[in-house]
Amino acid sequence: MARSPLHVLLYVLATVAVAAAAAAETAVHKPPPTTNVTSDEEYWAKRAEEARAYSRAAYVADPVAELNRFNQDVQRATTRRSLARYRGPCLATNPIDRCWRCRSNWASDRQRLATCARGFGHSAMGGAGGRTYVVTDPSDDELIIPKKGTLRYGVIQDRALWIVFARSMVIKLSQELIVNSNKTIDGRGAQVHITGAQITLQGVKHVIIHGVRIHHSVPHSGGMIRDSKHHYGHRTRSDGDGISILSSSNIWIDHVSMWSCADGLIDVVSGSTAITVSNSHFTKHDHVMLFGASNSETQDAMMQITVAFNHFGKGLVQRMPRCRFGFFHVVNNDYTHWQMYAIGGNRDPTIISQGNRFIAPDDGNAKEVTKREYAPYSEYKDWVWKSQGDVMMNGAFFNESGGQNERRYGQMDFIPAKNGKYVGKLTQFAGTLGCRVGKPC
308: Cα separation from own chain's centroid: 10
Alpha helices in 31-136 (DSSP H): 40-58, 63-75, 95-98
pLDDT, one tens digit per residue, over 265-295 is 999 999 999 999 999 999 999 999 999 999 9
Q: Which position among 101, 118, 226, 319 bears the catalytic label?
A: 319
**Statement: residue 35 has pLDDT above 60:** no
d(CA 330, CA 278): 10
Whether the CB-CB separation of 251 and 274 falls below 8 Å is answered with yes
Q: Closest Cα to residue 398, out of 371, 423, 376, 375? A: 371
**Statement: residue 79 has pLDDT above 60:** no
d(CA 60, CA 260): 8
pLDDT, one tens digit per residue, over 420-440 is 999 999 999 999 999 999 999
**Statement: residue 23 has pLDDT above 80:** no
Q: Characterize the bridge pairing of strands 357-359 and 334-335.
A: parallel
Looking at residue 49, its pLDDT comes to 65
pLDDT, one tens digit per residue, over 294-326 is 999 999 999 999 999 999 999 999 999 999 999
Q: Which domains does the chain have, with CATH numbers?
A: 40-403+411-426 (2.160.20.10)
4: Cα separation from own chain's centroid: 62
**Statement: residue 330 has pLDDT above 80:** yes
Residue 89, beta-bridge partner list: none
**Statement: residue 17 has pLDDT above 90:** no
Looking at residue 186, its pLDDT comes to 98
**75-87 core/surface letters (b: 16 or more CB in 10 A; e: else):** eeebebbebeeee
pLDDT, one tens digit per residue, over 80-131 is 665 556 777 888 999 999 999 999 999 999 999 999 999 999 999 999 999 9
| DSSP helix/strand/coil, 405 | coil
**409-437 core/surface letters (b: 16 or more CB in 10 A; e: else):** eeeebbbebbebebbbebbbbbbbbebee
Cis amide linkage into residue 219, ω under 30° from 0: no
**Exposed / middle / buried, residue 172 (Cβ in 10 Å: 0-12, 13-18, 19+):** middle
pLDDT, one tens digit per residue, over 161-206 is 999 999 999 999 999 999 999 999 999 999 999 999 999 999 999 9
pLDDT, one tens digit per residue, over 205-246 is 999 999 999 999 999 999 999 999 999 999 999 999 999 999
Looking at residue 403, its pLDDT comes to 87
Whether the CB-CB separation of 336 and 362 falls below 8 Å is answered with no
Length of the chain: 441
**Statement: residue 59 has pLDDT above 60:** no
Q: How confident is the model at residue 14 (pLDDT cuts 50, 70, 90)?
A: very low
**Statement: residue 134 has pLDDT above 80:** yes
3 DSSP 8-state letter: P
**Statement: residue 153 has pLDDT above 60:** yes
Average pLDDT, the chain: 87
Looking at residue 409, its pLDDT comes to 80
**Statement: residue 339 has pLDDT above 80:** yes
Looking at residue 81, its pLDDT comes to 67
Residue 319 falls in the annotated catalytic set: yes
Whether the CB-CB separation of 290 and 324 falls below 8 Å is answered with no
